[in-house]
Structure 1
Amino acid sequence: MDFTKVIKEVGRGKNHARDLDREQALELYRLMLAGEVPDLQLGGLLIAFRIKGEAEQEMLGFYQAMEEQTLRLQAPAERPMPVVIPSYNGARKQANLTPLLAILLHRLGLPVIVHGVTSDPGRITSYEIFQALGIKAADCAEQAQAMLNEGRGPVFIPVSILCPPIDQQLQLRWQMGVRNSSHTLAKLATPFIDQPALRLASVSHPEYIQRVSSFFQDVGGLALLSQGTEGEVYANPLRSAPVHLIGHGEQKILLERQEFSAQNLPAAKDAQTTADWIQDCLEAKVAVPQAILHQLACCLVATELAPDMAEALMLVEQLF
């Protein structure tokens, strides 16, 4: 592949760049993930796509290349559909409640996979909170599968195990100063290739909802999609965004926007304070935020463990 020619096409800025077709994008990203693009050209490509934005066909090609390198797991037999939760942003201003969401989903009987980074300067990752809670990460595919089969969970898989080439692309952020396409791709990954699984997804701005929805429809994925909380998928405890259910060729709003009064939330964002607060929630010493309870109900409907939101909320409120 002539990388100079590709850069010339995609690197003309947001208004003048040309998009690659799906096959071109697939070929290019395969080479990028294989480490076969020289550093200078790789940097040029990453910045070009950062400025231009990935087109729909480009994202599908990139995704296929990533999927080829992603760890495969088998969903546990005779159990509900698994839920896949990406966690790549962590806590910046407020406590990261992704681990709470994952633990409560597991308590509802759902197999849960959380995948993400293990560290991020200036932010508190889900990995660090799980560690503070005594929940160890899987260190290989075999261990992750065993944990799933044994009903242990939630199972945290570092992205370095889930898809090592994507992890390498993510690490380039600290050399280049900005994120690249791998940050978007990692959040879409699932280890349950060609198997039913519910993916929780989020966007940073409402205008991206339709783009991500189209992606899931193109790949035949089942997803709950909403505007995230500092980039994480858990529902904001004070003002949760609408939740879109995407699957079977349809998109519908499962839960409208909601606002909640001030609640007893973690006093700080650090891992230990957040873990202690989560433990209090699990022991019913502190109320689980209503926004999280409603998000759990959405998951029950999406995985067909409840026929509608009314019954799902009843089930959740009985348990928590």
Structure 2
Amino acid sequence: MLQVSVLAALPPAFLVFAAGLIGLMVGSFLNVVIHRIPRMMEYDEANYIAELRGEPLPHPGRYNLMVPRSACPHCGHQIAAWENIPVVSYLFLRGRCAACRKPISVRYPLVELTTAVLSALAMWHYGPTVQALAAIVMVWALVALTMIDADTQLLPDQITLPLLWLGLLLNLQGVFVPLADAVIGAAAGYLVLWSAYWLFKLVRGKEGMGYGDFKLMGALGAWFGWQALPALVLLSSMVGAVFGIAMLVARRQGRETPFPFGPFIAGAGLLVLFFGADLLPLGLGIR
């Protein structure tokens, strides 16, 4: 592994704690990303259509990841800095808005805690290396993509494409796999789901997944190489099938009701990230 000399000089326990703490803070920001990126896409599309038609823009104000300030969805109360401390503020406020006392979704601290735990796990697993820093960035991206897809059935290009290019750039130096394996993995990862999409559409006459799924699989192929694709495809398909069957049994969804596949691809990516070597005896892993 490629060690980072500055990190290697620090105690391992401190590095794991620091990674978790940074992950906790980034998790708070990811809640903003999860909420706003789909709306940014919606607003941009609406403004573009209105501009083509020569109509007034429906969303003329600035709306991005920085502005406007976060606010309570119930009463519009702007969130103060002390109300935005990851997990701590939620517990202090007992899960309610400081102004209107309406409940705040528990998913916000759960996203923060999940990001913190996975970031710490990445540092513990890879140690003071470039792989650890890269793995932490991947964790952040996969958490955001999972929640966005679960909410909207969208996997935004704003995250999937930078993730793909970052994987290729890292593997210029063979951080995870040789560059040739990464390039083949990116192309094959995209094409394997693209082919499944068209096969399903020819047989059933309807779409079975979205293009964002192709891009996410391509991004994971760019990080882990073509050798990881059997594991990624099999694991995501198996868990997705179990979830779909469970929803049918519980009668919470009909057979024709679509559900997001991105979280299962992201979950498979995390399994390969942390347990790739252990999957090798099954013929499912990476080098």
TM over 0.5: no
Higher relative contact order (CA 8 A, sep 6+): 2
Q: Which of the pair is proportionally richer in helix?
A: 2
Higher-Rg member (1/2): 2
Normalising by structure 2, report the TM-score: 0.24
Q: Identify the structure with the greater strand proportion.
A: 1
